[in-house]
Structure 1
């Protein structure tokens, strides 16, 4: 009898703790996730990490400070000076590029630049921003007065948010490779592709100035964009918070033979 009473008392305590988790802690975590993704709470420790990145990923709002400032980034190559240049990035658009290419056979220097009337929209950044906005929508879809009734409801929400954040992170960490036809159709250049060769394959053909050219060498150039690194950091932090909340829900379920949610 004493054991049964003790079990009943323990169960009652656990049920009260689980109720508090659903009513209080879940909303606290949702608010923290919103603060990290929207970066609108100066008191939050992680907010400063994503402040610059938030300007690229947040939903546009009226009177938010006008156009995004242009940033210049120097292109670098590993162990060679065959390619040098500077890119100008404005939000999710590559608006200017100035590139010098040294020909490997005769060291002739060729100069390339973007057309002034064209911009190259970075689809990966646009897609990542859309996923973040969808995650924010899911988090804000239930206000502070909303009462979560079951643990499964919380798990389903966390899974949906984590899916969007994972897609956003993966979209930024997996570079997209365009084909020559895709670049030609973008209107950024004046050459016409010949055939369907992939841009980075030697042997690809294209036409320029009524002459046909073949890609003989490939040079990979990179530039570091600090705010993208910041974005990846707060994606990771947000995913960790979601997982921690899921783990707490799962711990409570282990105290019952049936799933109390």
Structure 2
């Protein structure tokens, strides 16, 4: 009995020493590794005028789709903004070729990229607040820090992997389309802002990030006549609306007649997603190591 108690005491002493080493050495090693990875991730989100690196370089991406050749063109991405758009759209009804381009004085901010970058910066800030001289006193303190960092990284990843679900009126009212909805039976309501010449009144345009892709969607519309026998059901929020989706704009009822979606892969977005995944795995592994020690005691010494 005395031998068993001695063995238990000796085992407890070893475990306590290992736990102290984990708190004082390994935790900081993991924090350093996380900071290095997230600094690499943050470089992928470099913005114009940030730091001493100068403006973010312009990158041209060719739009493509395996299902349609109705839309072709190039989008120019500069940091978190689309600085140029050069898109050709073949109208299905008459094969008319339309050219869509941004005004020279306009850029379109991609809020998803902005938000992801801000969450990465917040994660780096949390990690930097615990420098090499900081002594973690309990495992609970480490778990709390890891949870806070993981929350920021999860939010950053989700902003890229989960595009916003928008209603058609929200797309129509966006600064990108600034839909006028005038002509061809549509009453003009708003000036169009981003494009020169202005978009045709029966087009809506949406741009968003989905995982590592930059996506452009063009919706063609037609007005439903007041005496239409169609059962009018306004469409709810969606990342991508289908032909037949309906909505109200002012006093008019409108329907989507055609949808064209094209996209392009942005390599550095893929890099960022990999960095997020690796960082989340490191955080979880450290949490698991901390939690393992709780199974050796009936009370929680941390």
Given the two structures, how large is their TM-score scaled by the length of structure 1? 0.85
Higher strand share: 2
User: Quick check: 153-162 or 191-200, which moved more?
Assistant: 191-200
Contact in 2 for aligned 1:84/1:100 (Cα 8 Å): yes
Query: What runs of 5+ residues in structure 1 fail to find an aligned partner?
Result: 40-49, 208-212
Query: What runs of 5+ residues in structure 2 fail to find an aligned partner?
Result: 179-189, 205-220, 224-233
Contact in 1 for aligned 2:48/2:79 (Cα 8 Å): no
Query: Residue 223 of structure 1 corresponds to which residue in structure 2?
Result: 264
Higher RCO (C-alpha under 8 Å, 6+ residues apart) = 1
Residue 258 (1) aligns with residue 280 (2): no
2:279 to 238, 256, 260: 238
Query: Residue 188 of structure 1 corresponds to which residue in structure 2?
Result: 194
2 CA distance for matches of 1:100 and 1:206? 26
Query: Residue 56 of structure 1 corresponds to which residue in structure 2?
Result: 45
Q: Equivalent residue of 1:217, what SS?
A: strand
The structural deviation recorded for 1:204 is: 5.5
2 CA distance for matches of 1:75 and 1:17? 55
Query: Residue 8 of structure 2 corresponds to which residue in structure 1?
Result: 7
Name the CA shift for 1:188/1:204 in 2 (closer, same or farther; >3 Å): farther
The structural deviation recorded for 1:62 is: 3.4
Q: Equivalent residue of 2:257, what SS?
A: coil
Q: Equivalent residue of 1:20, what SS?
A: helix
2 CA distance for matches of 1:60 and 1:238? 27
Query: Residue 31 of structure 2 corresponds to which residue in structure 1?
Result: 30
Q: Equivalent residue of 1:130, what SS?
A: helix
Q: Equivalent residue of 1:86, what SS?
A: strand
Query: Residue 93 of structure 2 corresponds to which residue in structure 1?
Result: 105
Name the CA shift for 1:243/1:61 in 2 (closer, same or farther; >3 Å): same
Higher helix share: 1
The structural deviation recorded for 1:27 is: 0.5
Contact in 2 for aligned 1:58/1:133 (Cα 8 Å): no
The structural deviation recorded for 1:200 is: 4.0
Contact in 2 for aligned 1:74/1:86 (Cα 8 Å): yes
1:179 to 171, 178, 196: 171
Contact in 2 for aligned 1:76/1:84 (Cα 8 Å): yes
The structural deviation recorded for 1:105 is: 2.1
Contact in 2 for aligned 1:114/1:188 (Cα 8 Å): yes
Q: Equivalent residue of 2:86, what SS?
A: strand
User: Quick check: 108-117 or 182-191, which moved more?
Assistant: 182-191
- Structural RMSD (CA): 2.8
